[in-house]
Amino acid sequence: MSESPELVAVALCSELGGFDTRAFAGQLESAEPGLRVEVVQDLCSNPEAGVQFAHQAGARLLVGGLCGHETRNVEFQAWARRAGLDPYAFDLVSLRPCFAADGAAPLTEHAVFLLRAAVARMREFRGSRPEQLNMRLVAPGKRVSRRALITLPPWTYDAAPMVDPAKCVACGLCETACAYDAISREPTGDRVVDTAHCLGCGQCLAACPVDALDWPVGSKVQFEAEMGVLASSGGRLLIGCASELAKLRSDSDADAALHGWLPIEVPCMGMVTAGWALQALAGGAAAVALVGCGEHCHFDQESVLRERVDYVRDVLDVLGEAHPDDRVLVATGEPASVADALAATAARDVAVSALPGTADRARRAICLTEPEATAGAVLALVDDFGGPVEGRVDSAASPLALVNVHIETCTTCGACALVCPTGALKLEENDDATTLSFDATRCIGCMRCAPSCPEFEEQTLTVDRATDPMALGEGRRELKRAEVGLCRNCGKPVAPAAMLARIERLLDDDDRTPALMDALTKLCIECRQLAASL
């Protein structure tokens, strides 16, 4: 028996222009089970009423449908804390992009999708922990007065990611990805995030191959749920950070261009990998626009985003898409430029509305953790386009990579498999042979394997940052199989024959007796010790 969905309180602002809010509330309740919907008088200016409604309804989670763009997160958070709710147990959705334009009917269906997406996102909310929250003054810098000695100005809380030790595989990729040295390694080996140094760029989440980072404002599982609903609408998705989306909404031209786009607000575009755009398309979206960072942004993800979008276009091109540039784009610059880019894509709607396999795509679950995000989306799109596909995309922005092994010099020692954090490289040993295999759908190109190879200088193992749909379709394949050399004395396995041959070659010029060479390569450890003791 399936569990009934968790109750979510949905408060709708009474000032939603053009909507019959009562009828809309009923439509929403019938579209999504487990909702308690209420029209709240002037919700945008009265967060307390919205939070009180959730509290009285006995709901742990609140979604607010706002008539305006001013999010009032700080006020909602303060009232949520006061009502005993989690400070991040609410999601505010601006329904302005669904308002009537030029007197036309409001996009009620879009509004329903936006609110259902927010509900899905909140249902995946697992709560914040005090250790993740960092206090911040709402208006710093206004403190120099006698009052500063006795009065704490208004404050709010920012949330930082936290590493879940149960999921963490200690690969250290998050630590490497963090540009602010906020992640460090404890003596126990656990990675910890210093909330005071974390600026919330989300790079660590993008880098983690096992989704071990939990972030109340942006856990991947929440975005997966949200994107799943929005992509299934078959509409156009707009992914942007809170700051840039707010800038667009405050500009009247850009605001008009947002009409009809379904926004996904992320803390920072640093966490949006190429796999996000591919997953959205594979999940049913007609197009995906990524909003670039403004000049003032200290995270400066602009060039990274462009590389990622170029990569996605190349992948779509290889798959056979006729309009890759219309499927995915970076909208950047001043609000007017962003508006132009969005309007141009919207105008070409007819050309881009027919990706093959639409009906199936809407049923696909979204995954935003690399490498599954890119690999899964590419494989799904290969099916949609009627695969198989020849050709590959070589790009520095590829979230996937291909490992090549020089068959002559690889000794199947397994050092590479030992350091591989995702299990893309795997060594299987039995009495007869050792087999090194590779699964292209698991490789994130972290480059841990190449320097770990003892034959590194001979370039025995190389990594290409590339996406090859055919290799992805093959699944796990054998890179090298080596017979095992057996002990001349007892017949037990000694080591892979290739490794023993390598040892012989290395010791060939050495001034050692043939007897020693013989003992090292032809006897197992026990028999070698026995021979030495005689």
Partner 1 sequence: MRDTVISADLIELARLRGKIHLLLGLGFRYPAEDDFEALMTVANDLNEVIERASDFTFYPATIALLDELAGIGEADVFRIQETHVDIFQLAGERAPCAPYESAQMGGAGRLAGWIIADIEKFYAEAGLALSGRAGREPPDHVALELEFMSALCEMEAVARAEQMADEVERVLSSELAFLERHVCRWLPRLARQVESATSSDGFYGKLAVATRAWVAHERGFVGLIARERLFARELAAPVGDPR
For partner 1, the binding residues (CB under 8 A) are 45-48, 74-75, 78-79, 81-82, 84, 87, 129-131, 133-138, 140, 143-146, 148-157, 195-196
Distance separating alpha carbons of residues 334 and 351, to the nearest angstrom: 27
Q: How many CA atoms lie within 13 A of 358 on its CB side?
A: 10
CB of 203 to partner 1, least distance (A): 22
Q: Which is nearer to partner 1, 216 or 421 (CB)?
A: 216
CB of 198 to partner 1, least distance (A): 12
Q: Which is nearer to partner 1, 4 or 188 (CB)?
A: 188
Distance separating alpha carbons of residues 375 and 476, to the nearest angstrom: 13
Q: Which is nearer to partner 1, 152 or 515 (CB)?
A: 152
CB of 83 to partner 1, least distance (A): 9
Query: Residue 132 contacts by C-beta under 8 Å, 6 or more apart in sequence?
Result: 159, 160, 161, 162, 195, 214, 215, 216
| Helix pair angle (514-522, 525-533), 10° resolution | 140
Q: Which is nearer to partner 1, 182 or 281 (CB)?
A: 182
Q: Which is nearer to partner 1, 153 or 491 (CB)?
A: 153
Q: Which is nearer to partner 1, 67 or 330 (CB)?
A: 67
CB 398 within 8 A of CB 377: no
Distance separating alpha carbons of residues 534 and 530, to the nearest angstrom: 7
3-state secondary structure of 186: coil
CB 219 within 8 A of CB 132: no
DSSP characters over 12-40: EETT-TT--HHHHHHHHHHHSTTEEEEEE
CB of 520 to partner 1, least distance (A): 41
* Residue 363 token pair: 């049923």
CB of 46 to partner 1, least distance (A): 7
CB of 48 to partner 1, least distance (A): 6
Distance separating alpha carbons of residues 505 and 282, to the nearest angstrom: 51
Q: Which is nearer to partner 1, 86 or 334 (CB)?
A: 86
* Cα distance from N-terminal residue to C-terminal residue, the chain: 70
CB 217 within 8 A of CB 200: yes
Q: Which is nearer to partner 1, 69 or 406 (CB)?
A: 69
3-state secondary structure of 301: coil
CB of 78 to partner 1, least distance (A): 5
Distance separating alpha carbons of residues 366 and 358, to the nearest angstrom: 15
Q: Which is nearer to partner 1, 45 or 462 (CB)?
A: 45
Asked if the bond preceding 97 is cis, omega within 30° of 0, the reply is: no
CB of 42 to partner 1, least distance (A): 9
Q: Which is nearer to partner 1, 129 or 363 (CB)?
A: 129
If we measure between CA atoms, which residue out of 34, 13, 93, 55 comes closest to residue 24? 13
CB of 265 to partner 1, least distance (A): 21
CB 261 within 8 A of CB 97: yes
How many Cβ atoms from other residues are within 10 Å of residue 131's Cβ? 11
CB of 196 to partner 1, least distance (A): 6
| Helix pair angle (274-282, 220-232), 10° resolution | 40
